[in-house]
Chains A and B, each alone.
Chain A
Amino acid sequence: MPEGKDGVSRLTELDEGQSGLVVGFDPPGGVAVRLEAMGLREGKRITKISGLPFRGPVVVQAGGTRVALGHRMAARILVEPVE
Chain B
Amino acid sequence: MSAPRPNKRIVLAGNPNVGKSVIFSRLTGVQVIASNYPGTTVGFARGYLTIPSDLEVRPGAPFAPGERVEIVDAPGVYSLAPCCPADQVARDLIAGADYTVCVVDSTNLERNLNLVLQILETGVPTVVALNMWDETAHRGVKIDPALLERRLHVPVVPVVGVTGEGIRKLVERLDEAAPSGLPPLPGPERWRRIGEIVGECQELVHHHHTFLQLLSDFSVKPWTGLPLAAGVIFFAFVLVRLIGEFLVAGDIVIFRQPLLQLPFGTTFLFETAWVPLMGKLSILLGGGGFLHDLLIGALADGKIDLMQSFGLLTTGLYIPLGVVLPYILAFYLVLGFLEDFGYLPRLAVLLDWLMHRLGLHGYAIIPNLLALGCNVPAILATRVLESRRERFIAATLVSIAVPCAALQAMVIGVLGPRGGRYVLLVYLALFCVWLVTGFILSRTVKGYSPELIIEIPHYRLPPLGPYWKKIVSRLRGFLQEGIPVILLGVAAVNILDYLGFFSAVSVLAAPVVEKALGLPREVSTVLVVGFLRKDMALGLLAPMGLTTRELVVACSVLAMFFPCLATFAVLLRELGWRDLLKATGVMLAVSLTAGTALNFLLGL
The interface of chain A, by Cβ under 8 A from chain B, is 16, 31, 33-39, 41, 49-57, 59, 62-73
Check B164 for interface membership: any CB of A closer than 8 A: no
Name the CB-closest residue of A to B78.
A37
**Set of chain B residues within 8 Å of A64, measured between Cβ atoms:** 105, 107-111, 139, 141
**Set of chain A residues within 8 Å of B454, measured between Cβ atoms:** 67-68
A38 touches B455 (CB 8 A): yes
**Set of chain B residues within 8 Å of A65, measured between Cβ atoms:** 108, 111, 455
CB-contact partner of A68 in B78, B84, B348, under 8 A: B348
A57-B79 CB under 8 A given contacts A36-B187, A66-B456: no
**Set of chain A residues within 8 Å of B110, measured between Cβ atoms:** 39, 63-64
Tell me which of B220-228, B411-419, B429-437, B586-594 binds A: B220-228
B362 touches A57 (CB 8 A): yes
CB-contact partner of A50 in B81, B187, B222, B362, under 8 A: B222
B456 touches A50 (CB 8 A): no
The interface of chain B, by Cβ under 8 A from chain A, is 78-79, 81, 83-84, 105, 107-111, 114-115, 139, 141, 187, 191, 216-217, 220-222, 225, 345, 348-350, 352-353, 361-362, 450-456
B349 touches A73 (CB 8 A): no
A56 to B361, CA, bound (A): 10
A66-B81 CB under 8 A given contacts A39-B111, A49-B220, A50-B220: no
A38 to B361, CA, bound (A): 19
Name the CB-closest residue of B to A62.
B111
Nearest chain A CB to B103 CB, angstrom units: 15
A27 to B440, CA, bound (A): 31
Nearest chain A CB to B107 CB, angstrom units: 6
**Set of chain A residues within 8 Å of B349, measured between Cβ atoms:** 50, 52, 56-57, 59, 68
A68 to B457, CA, bound (A): 10
Q: Could you list some 18 contacts between A and B, CB below 8 A?
A: A16-B221, A34-B78, A37-B114, A38-B455, A39-B110, A51-B222, A52-B222, A52-B349, A53-B353, A54-B353, A59-B456, A63-B110, A64-B141, A68-B220, A68-B348, A68-B456, A70-B361, A70-B451
CB-contact partner of B111 in A52, A57, A63, A70, under 8 A: A63
A69-B453 CB under 8 A given contacts A39-B110, A52-B352: yes
Nearest chain A CB to B120 CB, angstrom units: 16
**Set of chain A residues within 8 Å of B222, measured between Cβ atoms:** 50-53, 56
CB-contact partner of B453 in A31, A51, A54, under 8 A: A31
Name the CB-closest residue of A to B357.
A54
A51 to B353, CA, bound (A): 12
A50-B225 CB under 8 A given contacts A31-B453, A34-B453, A67-B456: yes
**Set of chain A residues within 8 Å of B105, measured between Cβ atoms:** 64
Main secondary structure of the interface of A (DSSP, over half): mixed
Beyond the given A33-B79, A70-B361, could you list 12 further A-B residue pairs with CB under 8 A, ordered by the A residue number? A34-B84, A37-B79, A37-B83, A52-B353, A56-B222, A57-B352, A57-B362, A59-B220, A59-B456, A68-B453, A68-B456, A73-B451
A63 to B109, CA, bound (A): 9
Name the CB-closest residue of B to A60.
B456
A41-B191 CB under 8 A given contacts A34-B83, A63-B111: yes
**Set of chain A residues within 8 Å of B107, measured between Cβ atoms:** 64
B221 touches A68 (CB 8 A): no
Nearest chain A CB to B449 CB, angstrom units: 10
Name the CB-closest residue of B to A73.
B451
Nearest chain A CB to B18 CB, angstrom units: 12
A33-B109 CB under 8 A given contacts A67-B456, A68-B454, A73-B451: no
A43 to B482, CA, bound (A): 54
CB-contact partner of A52 in B79, B81, B84, B350, under 8 A: B350
**Set of chain B residues within 8 Å of A70, measured between Cβ atoms:** 352, 361, 450-453
B456 touches A69 (CB 8 A): no
Nearest chain A CB to B10 CB, angstrom units: 24
A70 to B356, CA, bound (A): 10
A68 to B345, CA, bound (A): 9
**Set of chain B residues within 8 Å of A35, measured between Cβ atoms:** 453
